[in-house]
Structure 1
Amino acid sequence: MEPFCRGRYRARLAATPEDLRACQRLRWLAFVARTGQPDDGQALDADALDPLCRHMLIEEIATGAPVGCFRFLPLAGGGQIGRSYAAQFYDLGALARFDGPMVEMGRFCLHPDCHDPDAIRVAWGVLGTIVAAEGAEMLFGCSSFAGCDPDAHSDAFAMLCARHLAPRRWHPRVKAPDVFRLARALRLRQPDPRRAMAAMPPLLRSYLAMGGWVSDHAVVDHALRTMHVFTGVEIRAIPPARRRLLDALSA
C-alpha cells in the first residue's frame, strides 16, 4: 500500500521493527502514561496481537515525527472473528455468521500533544482505502472511554443505549468479568444529545455518523482505566452522503 498524504500528514504502513516500535511507543504515551505508570523513555504498549496485525503510522511530512497510529486485522469472514482483539472481551458468536470480509481496527490514538483534527481525517482517509482494498463489508473494533466511572459517561451511555444498539442478529454478548449495562444509564436519565455527543470519543462519533452500532454493555478495563464498547459498521448500510464523504477522504 502506497503512503497516503493529506496536508501536513502522511499515513504509511509500518515497514520495519523501528516503525512498529514507534507505534507501540505512541500507544504507550496515549493509553498507559495517563494511568501514572513510570516512564523510562523506552516503555511500549505491545501485546500478542501485534504480530498478526498490520500497523499504520501517521506522521508529519516535514519532520517525520509520529503523531498517530492504528493497527488493523483483515478477516475473510465472521468464521475468523475469534482471532480478533475484541473477541477476548465479547462473545461474538452471532457475528461468526457474517459472510463477508471484515476489518478490525484497533489501538487508534494520537500523540497527547496532537490536537489537529486533520490527523484524524488522514486516519479516516487511509482507512477508507483499506476498506476498499480488502473489499471489507464490515468494520469493527472497541471504542474506549477514559476512566472507569460509568457516571462520568452517563449521557453518552444513555444515548448509545437509546439510539445505537447493535441489530439483534449481530448482538455481542457478555464475556468479560466486569461490565456495565448501558440500560442502567438510560434508566437513570434521559440523555442530553449535545452533552452526550461531546462526551463520545472522536472515533466513535465518526462510526455513529456512518450508521455504526455498539454492544449493550461496556467492558471495564482496569489496567488501562477505560471502559470500551464493541462497535461495528456494516459498509453497505452507511448512508449515501456519509459514504461519499468517506470515498472523498480516501481519494
Structure 2
Amino acid sequence: MRLQVRWARHLDEVRQAQRLRYQIFAEEMGAVLQTPVAGHDIDVFDDFCEHLMVCDEEQNKVIGTYRLLTPAQAQRAGGLYSDQEFDLSPINAWRAQMVELGRSCVHAEHRQGGVILALWGALAEFMQRNRLEAMVGCASIPMQYPGLAHGEGPARIWQQLRQSHLAEPELQVRPRVALPEELAHISNVSADALKVEPPALIQGYLRAGAKVLGAPAWDSDFNTADLPIMMRMQDLPSRYRRLFGRMKA
C-alpha cells in the first residue's frame, strides 16, 4: 500500500474526507448527523477549515483525515467548534497561537498502520510553517463501553486522567453540557477499580505531552464524551520535538 498525504485542494476532495467521516461517525459509531448531503458528515465549520487527508494511492481513496481551524479562520467562523462544547475563556490568551484539530478518523482497515503517523507528520509541518504554539480540540470517548453502564467508561477515564494529566488550574475549562448526574458516584470509586483504557488517539496525545483541560462534555448527537485537550509545543517530550522541529525549550 502506498500512502499519500495531502491537503484538500477543492470541494471534491473535501467531500471525500466528509464521506469517510460519515462512514466512521454515523455508520460505525452510530452518531446522529444533521447533514445537507446524504452520506457525508458536514457542518458549518468545514468551509473555514483546512482538510488534511491520507490517501491509499492503489485504491484511490481517503483512509484518514483531520480538519484544522487556524486562528484567522476561527475569527471568521465566529469561534472554535470547541466553543460550542466548553467555556474556553481560560485559554483566550492562546487563541492567536493555536490551531483547533477536529473530526479525526482513520478507516477501520488501516488503524494498525502508519496512517496516524502520516497525519501527525503533516501536522508537525503545518505547525512549523504557521508558527503556531499549541493545538486544541475535543477528543471523543464512546459513551458505551462493554460491560459498563452508559457513560461509565468516559466517567472512569476522566477520573483517571484528572489525577495524571490535568492542566494547571488557570487553563481549566468547563463543559456546557456535563456528563449525566447519575455518573457522579464514579469519583468515589477506588483508583484500581477505575481503570478503563482511553481510546488510542487520546493515548497518543498524552504521550506527546497533551493536557486535559477539564471534565468532558456530553455530545448527545455523537453519543460521545468529549475531553478538552490542549497540546502545547513547549510541553512536547524530546522524542517528539524532532518530529515537530522548531520547539521552545
Give the TM-score taking structure 2 as reference length.
Answer: 0.83
2:189 corresponds in structure 1 to 188
Residues 80 and 156 (structure 1), Cα distance of their counterparts in 2 relative to 1, 3 Å cut: farther
Distance 2:26 2:216 in 1: 19
1:107 corresponds in structure 2 to 103
Residues 27 and 233 (structure 1), Cα distance of their counterparts in 2 relative to 1, 3 Å cut: same
Instruction: Return the offset for 1:98.
Output: 2.4
- Match of 2:55, SS state, is strand
Whether the 8 Å contact between 1:79 and 1:98 is mirrored in structure 2 is no
Whether the 8 Å contact between 1:155 and 1:191 is mirrored in structure 2 is no
Distance 1:184 1:81 in 2: 38
Whether the 8 Å contact between 1:158 and 1:183 is mirrored in structure 2 is no
Aligned runs of 1:70-149 on 2, under 5 Å? 70-75=66-71, 83-98=79-94, 100-147=96-143, 149=150
Distance 2:113 2:168 in 1: 31
Deviations 1:159-185 (A, max 9, x none): 211111121121112323x43699853
Instruction: Return the offset for 1:156.
Output: 2.3
* Long gaps (5+) in structure 1: 1-6
Distance 1:96 1:33 in 2: 36
Displaced runs of 4 or more, over 4 A: 76-82, 180-184
- Match of 1:21, SS state, is helix
Instruction: Return the offset for 1:238.
Output: 1.2
Distance 1:78 1:169 in 2: 23
Whether the 8 Å contact between 1:209 and 1:242 is mirrored in structure 2 is no
Give the TM-score taking structure 1 as reference length.
Answer: 0.83
Distance 1:208 1:168 in 2: 18
Percent identical pairs in the alignment equals: 24
Aligned runs of 1:53-64 on 2, under 5 Å? 53-64=49-60
Distance 1:86 1:62 in 2: 36
* Long gaps (5+) in structure 2: 145-149
Deviations 1:95-145 (A, max 9, x none): 112275111110000123323331111011111111111111111100001
Decide which moves more: 77-86 or 18-27. Answer: 77-86
Distance 1:246 1:129 in 2: 7
Aligned runs of 1:219-230 on 2, under 5 Å? 219-230=217-228
Distance 1:69 1:79 in 2: 23
1:167 corresponds in structure 2 to 168
Distance 2:95 2:220 in 1: 34
Question: How many residues are aligned here?
Answer: 236
Instruction: Return the offset for 1:237.
Output: 1.8
Distance 1:36 1:205 in 2: 22
Distance 2:189 2:113 in 1: 33
Whether the 8 Å contact between 1:56 and 1:69 is mirrored in structure 2 is yes
Decide which moves more: 207-216 or 111-120. Answer: 111-120
Distance 2:32 2:179 in 1: 24
Instruction: Return the offset for 1:77.
Output: 11
2:236 corresponds in structure 1 to 238
